[in-house]
Copies of this chain bind each other. A is one copy, B any other.
């Protein structure tokens, strides 16, 4: 029921997913208003793989997370997360209210002990493919342990969803030298450098390394990550506004733009937010993927793709094993060797 457009986009997303990836081995439980969902399922022709779980209760997009949690029980969002908890569903995808995070945390609990809230990962288009950047907004301050949590989860995410083998990991910093930055990034770097997780740790990276694609996974606290992401979005919008102004500023420019249009459209497709829509809430006992509220059916279809990829991969097992190892590294007493504990 969620998102700016509701069932036309979420059920349309199922249709888009099936069109691109086929329906083998996938079934969808649709939670929400029975009539609205049934109409969309019929329209989209996806009845064969869908089952409607009716509920009248819907959390509005503008409700505060605390409110969403309090009166959430029995809502479409609550019921959807509950199917993950019971194991009936392998994952849940929602374009709804950010209360999804509070409800997920309440029902599923955190698997990453160091985290207060699930981390949000952004799939960032770069000159080199796609880089996973996390956390982009959930955890406002992050100590070294949390940053290592992000590295572990981001690595498994990138491998599962973007198909990389042995993804490289960088920690976002103000310089690449070892002594740069504050204590938390330096300590996280130390843990990752002599790491027992088998991760491909690259070192510190700077802001401009993100779009360069220097590494596959960029780790940062949620405050810096959120600001980096929104600054990049703002910059892209700024340039695109100037460009539109320039290309409509004279008859000659307009003629040039017309000729260049097919090439520019192709370029646009490469940075189409729909194609990278779908960010999991990382660190929960269960797969929960958040679609952008404004996504269209194609974008929502991609969020479904991310959910299926995560559920089918060894993501959960790999993250579980590495978080356990991290816990042993950080919290074992010197007399207990790490190997024994893990």
Whether the Cβ atoms of B224 and A227 lie closer than 8 Å is yes
Contacts known (A207-B226, A211-B235); A259 close to B253, Cβ less than 8 A? yes
Question: What is the oligomeric copy number?
Answer: 2
- Give the chain B neighbours of A260 by CB distance below 8 A: 246-247, 252-253, 256-257, 260
The 24 sampled A-B contact pairs (Cβ below 8 Å) are: A126-B238, A140-B181, A140-B182, A206-B227, A207-B227, A207-B228, A207-B231, A207-B232, A208-B230, A208-B231, A208-B233, A208-B237, A224-B227, A227-B228, A231-B231, A232-B234, A232-B235, A236-B239, A239-B271, A246-B267, A252-B263, A253-B262, A256-B257, A259-B259
17 new A-B pairs (CB below 8 Å) besides A212-B238, A249-B266, A256-B259?
A173-B227, A174-B223, A206-B230, A207-B234, A212-B234, A227-B227, A228-B228, A231-B232, A232-B232, A232-B235, A235-B235, A239-B239, A243-B264, A246-B263, A247-B263, A252-B263, A257-B260
Smallest CB-CB A-B distances: 7 pairs: A207-B230, A256-B259, A256-B260, A208-B234, A207-B231, A253-B263, A211-B238
| Distance in Å: Cβ of A273 to nearest Cβ of chain B | 13
CB interface residues, A 95-121, toward B, < 8 Å: none
CB-based contact A222/B174 at 8 Å: yes
Measured CA separation A238–B34 after assembly (Å): 45
Cα distance, A250 to B137, chains bound together (Å): 41
Cβ–Cβ contact A210 & B234, under 8 A = yes
Q: Is A258 an interface residue (CB 8 A)?
A: yes
Measured CB to CB, the closest approach of chain B to A133, in angstroms, equals 10
Q: Which residues of B contact A222 (CB under 8 A)?
A: 174
A245 within 8 A of B: yes
A238 to B211, CA, bound (A): 6
- Which chain B residues border A246 with CB–CB below 8 Å? 260, 263-264, 266-267
* CB-based contact B229/A207 at 8 Å: yes
Least CB distance from A115 to B in Å reads 16
Cα separation A234 to B174 with both chains bound (whole Å) = 14
Answer whether residue A63 sits at the interface, using C-beta atoms and an 8 A cutoff.
no
Known: A140-B181, A228-B228. A234 touches B209 (CB 8 A): yes
A:244-287 near B, CB below 8 Å = 245-247, 249-250, 252-253, 255-264, 266-267, 270-271
Contact in complex: B267, A243 (CB < 8 Å): yes
Q: Which residues of B contact A239 (CB under 8 A)?
A: 236, 239, 271
In the complex, chain B residues whose CB is within 8 Å of the CB of A247: 260, 263-264
Q: Does A189 contact B (CB under 8 A)?
A: no
**Max chain B Cβ within 10 angstroms of own Cβ: one of A137, A207, A231, A257:** A231
Check: A242 CB closer than 8 A to any chain B CB.
yes
Task: Identify the closest chain B residue to A266 (Cβ).
Answer: B246
